[in-house]
Amino acid sequence: MRIRKKNWTETELDTNEFLVREPESFKGRWREKFGNDLPIHLEIGCGKGKFVAEMSKLNPDINFIGLEKFTLVVSRAIRKCKLLEAGDNVCIVEKDAEGLEDIFETGEIKRIYLNFSDPWSNRKKWIKKRLTNPRFLDRYENIFGDRGEIFLKTDNREFFEYSIQAFSEKGWVIRNVSLDLHNSSFEGNVMTEYETKFAGQGMPIYRLEAYYNKRGE
């Protein structure tokens, strides 16, 4: 999907308080940034920001960071946070997931949301880009420290099955698997923009929770 530059894009990027500039400077200091010791949850690939903005309002006892690598999409996300009157417990960071360890210290993040991540083609040269590829799971383990968890949603069954295998091979525990989220008993689901579109088309949404524990408990 092509994102077009809006006449307000530069203004949002220059003045919007939800955007964290120079996130590397907060490595190891994110609780100082938020001004509290609440747990920090991270959405990788936050898109236009609807999910993370709404989560911040529903969960004032948790800090949220939305990570997005495309500048124009970041401008949409910070604007969405403003329009939805998100809480002061959320911020948006422009960064590729390849650089997670540049901005987070070990133990700073306790949960990661992967919502409708790019499934990439099932070709050897592209699979390494999947956000559940073992090389990314290694990065997540490093910023989790002793333990952490990933909540994943996707409309792509092949990517979902690949992710289950990747988590399992790394020794993560998988729970609460759903092959059709919107026709399940799961409560409290907050939808992303993509999810609203896919659900409206009657497409099944796949969801799981994967838990990492360094001690294997």
The mean per-residue pLDDT over the stretch 197-211 comes to 92
140-195, pLDDT tens digit by residue? Answer: 999 999 999 999 999 999 999 999 999 999 999 999 999 999 999 999 999 998 89
Give the active site residues: 118
Instruction: Report the pLDDT value the prediction gives residue 216, as an integer from 0 to 100.
Output: 67
Amino acid present at 35 = G
Q: Is the pLDDT of residue 8 over 70?
A: yes
Pairing of strands 40-44, 111-115: parallel
In the prediction, which pLDDT does 124 show?
73
pLDDT band at 13 (very low <50, low <70, confident <90, very high): very high
pLDDT (0 to 100) of residue 18: 97
CATH match for 9-213 among 3.40.50.10420, 3.10.105.10, 3.20.20.20, 3.40.50.150:
3.40.50.150
CB 143 within 8 A of CB 108: yes
106-137: buried (b, 16+ CB within 10 Å) or exposed (e) per residue? eebbbbbbbbbbebbeeeeeeeebbbbbeebb
Confidence of residue 197 (pLDDT cuts 50, 70, 90): confident
Q: How many CA atoms lie within 13 A of 176 on its CB side?
A: 16
Please compute the mean of the pLDDT values over residues 103-112 and round it to a whole number.
96
pLDDT at 74: 97
pLDDT digits (tens, 9 = 90+) for 41-85: 999 999 999 999 999 999 999 999 999 999 999 999 999 999 999
CA distance 163 to 137: 10
What's this model's pTM, rounded to 2 decimal places?
0.94
What residues are paired with 63 via a beta bridge?
Answer: 40
**pLDDT on residue 5:** 84
